[in-house]
Amino acid sequence: MGIDLAALAKFDTPTICNTIELFEVRARTAGYMDARIRACFPEMPPAVGYASTAAMRCAQPRREGDVYGSLDEHVARFGELPGPAMVVYQDLDEPAVAATFGEIMCTTYRAFGAAGLITSGPARDLDQVRQLGFPAFSNGAICSHGYSHIVELHRAVRVGGLTIHAGDLIHADANGVATVPPEIASEVAGAAAEFVTAESLVLTYLKTPDVTAKGFAEARRAMMDALGALGSRVRRQ
């Protein structure tokens, strides 16, 4: 069964994380970035894509070429991925001294079909990138790009406490960034729809007039029963 990225993008990232937990393929504290990585544009919908990883330095000039000299190579390597790229940068400077990305980089990546960009470093040109409608995630903002240059492409990177490999499937929105395990990726969207239906048993009840503790307990029990049955079924598949 193929992976329907559009179907995954219909759900927020917390719902995707909740659904992954049902499969019990990883610890509940694994597979997502920590609070250092935040959405630059939290109003944008979820972004889903395959990691195109890169490592960057900004503190010292590169030995040859210009700031944007590696962009052509990077977008050419999008072809190694099974679907749209999610660009993931590790800023190797500690502490960060300049922005990882700005308008030119994001315009370039968007033109070549990237779904978004995630960096452990800062951002800049935020108004311009917002106007592009290009989802981006960073640890803050710095006004200059310094001597930014790509050091390596499609190597393992560490961003927000999470190791990302080229080709990892990523789901990201205003709530954070998570990976989707490949062994269950084709099943997550369908299970997420059922997860939302189960949650609605409680949420719908709580929006009715004259709620009671007994009624809430019954609705919550029905939700947990539905989630338990869903979890048992997906783990058997």
Q: Are residues 137 and 223 in the same domain?
A: no
What is residue 69's predicted lDDT score, i.e. its pLDDT?
57
Q: Are residues 176 and 196 in the same domain?
A: no
What is residue 158's predicted lDDT score, i.e. its pLDDT?
98
What is residue 68's predicted lDDT score, i.e. its pLDDT?
54
Q: Are residues 42 and 102 in the same domain?
A: yes
What is residue 70's predicted lDDT score, i.e. its pLDDT?
85
21 in any annotated domain: no
DSSP state of 234: H
DSSP one-letter string for 139-167: S-B-S--TT-EEEEESS-EEETTEEE-TT
Q: Are residues 217 and 135 in the same domain?
A: no
12 in any annotated domain: no
Residue 114 phi/psi, 5-degree rounding, is -65, 145
Locus of tokens 């959405």: 39
**Domain end: 180, 199, 217, which one?**
180
227 in any annotated domain: yes
Q: Are residues 117 and 46 in the same domain?
A: yes
**Domain end: 135, 161, 180, which one?**
180
167: left (phi over 0), alpha (psi -120 to 50) or beta: left
Compute the C-alpha angle 93/96/101, nearest 5°: 100
Q: By 3-state DSSP, what share of the chain in percent is helix, strand and coil, each rounded to 5? A: 35, 20, 40
Query: pLDDT per position in the chain (237 positions), as tens?
Result: 579 999 999 999 999 999 999 999 999 999 999 999 999 999 999 999 999 999 999 998 876 655 555 899 999 999 999 999 999 999 999 999 999 999 999 999 999 999 999 999 999 999 999 999 999 999 999 999 999 899 999 999 999 999 999 999 999 999 999 999 999 999 999 999 999 999 999 999 999 999 999 999 999 999 999 999 999 999 987
Q: Are residues 213 and 163 in the same domain?
A: no
139 in any annotated domain: yes
CATH number of the domain residue 114 falls in: 3.50.30.40
Tell which residue, 41, 17, 12, has the closest CA to residue 27. Answer: 17
16 in any annotated domain: no
CA 19 to chain centre: 15
Q: Are residues 109 and 168 in the same domain?
A: yes
What is residue 161's predicted lDDT score, i.e. its pLDDT?
98
Q: Are residues 169 and 104 in the same domain?
A: yes
Domain that holds residue 231: 186-236
Q: Are residues 167 and 212 in the same domain?
A: no
Whole-model pTM: value is 0.94
What is residue 236's predicted lDDT score, i.e. its pLDDT?
85
**Domain end: 133, 156, 180, which one?**
180
4 in any annotated domain: no
